[in-house]
DNA sequence: CTAAAAATTTAGACTAGTCTAAATTTGAGA
DNA sequence: TCTCAAATTTAGACTAGTCTAAATTTTTAG
């Protein structure tokens, strides 16, 4: 089996490879894990020895098939636990991250299978992120960023990119959540802000920082 | 906060102090934790530095008030998770120990409070052991060992002492579980075995090994 | 193309937790 | 009460993971 630390590195490499390029740099990982580049180098060597990453000195890393599978499984566990915390234990969506970071390392396939069953096989977590299947497949989501939406169409919020407490609390305050429906009333080139109107609700001006952290689907 | 390892030592010292004497020896701990006496000595020094145990070289240890509180809290978490695993996720009572050993170290008071609420404030775990209250109080149970019972009274099984897979599976096989009702039909001095009859069920001969690992209450 | 900056790796050290083997202390029985 | 076996502790070593500081490689800008 793999240590918490190893799992965290694999998870972060997976995340960065997903959003950035295929090859991930030492500094990116160090920054994401709030650790030092030298520590990252040490760990990359170890992961390479175990055939979990492809690593070439000074050239960054990518996950091997094996490393990918472990990383995705950690993500699966993290997201299933988040569903449990919100749906079953009534946590708010801004309170679950730290606890899920711990729970994701519990080792028991039986536990995760049964949790999945108990939760009725959820496909997304409380932030709208897809829950990987047992076989490692990650359901694809054809959402777009709210910032890329056009005016006078009805969109449904599908996912939030930034899972930080402050962002989620901001959304709570303005009654925006997963499945909220809204239209873009106006877009302002000046600062890339926009006015959106929640269907049956209030209007609100969203900064570019906000609209680039919310995914939506055309209704 | 305290490490998994520290919590495990405190938990084991608590357990041993409960069943044995107040003062616990290095070897007892080493044996319980499947580690070496020298490792135990090292850890005892550290725990003593942190004022979690009273430790005098060559004299054994006892928990301080502070150590006791932490130990009992770990036990509380362990037992609440066991209830969750059996009641909610439908694990069998012989499958929960290893997973609960991991879950008991998750750090989040909110999580345990909400789990407790979700489970409707259970007072005993799936093996009949009392679940410590949040304040550290452990509900007292005036059960006796089945081996100490007398013939022709009706008893109700309240707790099993040995939580090993093999013992629990043995009880399953013979349809003995928490809350089973039975009478002692006969006791045999020869080997301290006894014949018991399950109310509305079959009769069975139990060895002394079995009857000294089952607690019962007079109905 | 080259010098400086940025990124990365190496060297060496530290902590937590563990181990083996040797030394010390305890305590039980003659 | 003395001796010796058992229990315990100490000394020193090892691993995983981390760090700082120095060295090296890569990249960038002129």
SS (H, E, C) chain B: CCCHHHHHHHHHHHHHHHHCCCCECHHHHHHHHCCCHHHHHHHHHHHHHCCCEEECCCCCEEECHHHHHHHHHHHHHHHHHHHHHHHHCCCCCCCCHHHHHHHCCCCCHHHHHHHHHHCCCCCECCCCCECCCCCCCCCCCCCEEHHHCCECCEEEEEEECCCCHHHHHHHHHCCCCCCCEEEEEEEECCCCEEEEEECCCCEEEECHHHHCCEEEEEC
Helix (H), strand (E) at residue A184? strand A181-188
Residues A38-85: tens digit of each pLDDT: 999 999 999 999 999 999 999 999 999 999 999 999 999 999 999 999
Note the maximum CA span of chain B: 57
Pairing between β-strand B193-198 and β-strand B203-206 as defined by DSSP bridges: antiparallel
Mean pLDDT of chain A: 96
Confidence tier at A141 by pLDDT (50, 70, 90): confident
C-alpha distances out from residue A31 to A9, A16, A37, A40, Å: 12, 11, 8, 10
pLDDT tens track, chain B, 219 positions? 899 999 999 999 999 998 877 789 999 999 999 999 999 999 999 999 999 999 999 999 999 999 999 999 999 999 999 999 999 999 999 999 999 999 999 999 999 999 999 999 999 999 999 999 999 999 988 899 999 999 999 999 999 999 999 999 999 999 999 999 999 999 999 999 999 999 999 999 999 999 999 999 998
Per the listing, tokens 């960065």 go with A16
Per-residue model confidence (pLDDT) at position A23: 87
Q: Which of residues 38-67 of A touch strand C (CB under 7 A)?
A: 38, 40-42, 44-45, 55, 57-60
Pairwise CB contact (< 8 Å): A91 & B110: yes
Mean pLDDT of A104-126: 98
- Tell me what pLDDT residue B19 has: 81
Q: Which CATH class is domain B4-63?
A: mainly alpha
pLDDT at B22: 78
- Asked if the Cβ of residue B25 lies within 7 A of any atom of strand C, the reply is no
Which value, to the nearest 10 degrees, does the dihedral of the CA atoms of residues A76, A79, A84, A86 take?
A: -170
Domain locations along chain B = 4-63, 144-218
Q: 3.40.50.10490, 3.40.50.620, 3.40.50.20, 2.30.30.90: which CATH number matches A144-218?
A: 2.30.30.90
Quote the CA–CA distance of A171 and B4 in Å, as a whole number.
36
| Among A219, A210, A144, CA closest to A183 | A219
What is residue A18's predicted lDDT score, i.e. its pLDDT? 85
Please report, rounded to whole angstroms, the spatial distance between the CA atom of protein residue B195 and the C1' atom of nucleotide C22: 54
pLDDT score for B23: 87
Q: What is the ipTM of this complex?
A: 0.93
pLDDT of residue B141: 85
Q: What pLDDT digit, counting tens, does each position of A147-167 carry?
A: 999 999 999 999 999 999 999
CB within 8 Å: A89 and B111: yes
Strands B61-63 vs A154-160: parallel, antiparallel or unpaired: unpaired
The dihedral through the CA atoms of A39, A44, A50, A53 has a sign that is positive
Tens of pLDDT, residue by residue over A12-47, are 999 999 887 778 999 999 999 999 999 999 999 999
């Amino acid at each position: 089996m793999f240590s918490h630390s190893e799992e965290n590195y694999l998870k972060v490499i997976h995340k960065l490879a997903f959003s950035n390029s295929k090859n991930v740099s030492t500094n990116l990982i160090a920054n994401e894990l709030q650790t030092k580049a030298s520590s990252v180098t040490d760990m990359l060597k170890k992961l390479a020895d175990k055939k979990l990453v492809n690593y070439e000195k000074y050239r960054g890393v990518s996950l091997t098939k094996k490393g990918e599978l472990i990383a995705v499984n950690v993500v699966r566990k993290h997201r299933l636990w988040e569903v449990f915390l919100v749906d079953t234990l009534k946590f708010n969506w801004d309170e679950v991250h730290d606890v899920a970071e711990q729970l994701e390392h519990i080792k028991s396939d039986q536990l995760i299978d049964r949790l999945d069953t108990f939760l009725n096989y959820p496909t997304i977590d409380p932030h709208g992120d897809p829950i990987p299947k047992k076989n490692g497949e990650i359901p694809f989501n054809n959402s777009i960023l709210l910032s890329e939406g056009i005016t006078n169409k009805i969109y449904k919020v599908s996912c939030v990119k930034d899972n930080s407490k402050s962002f989620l609390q901001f959304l709570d305050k303005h009654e925006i959540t997963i499945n909220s429906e809204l239209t873009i009333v106006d877009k302002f080139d000046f600062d890339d802000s926009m006015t959106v109107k929640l269907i049956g609700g209030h209007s609100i001006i969203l900064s570019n920082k906000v609209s680039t952290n919310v995914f939506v689907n055309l209704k």
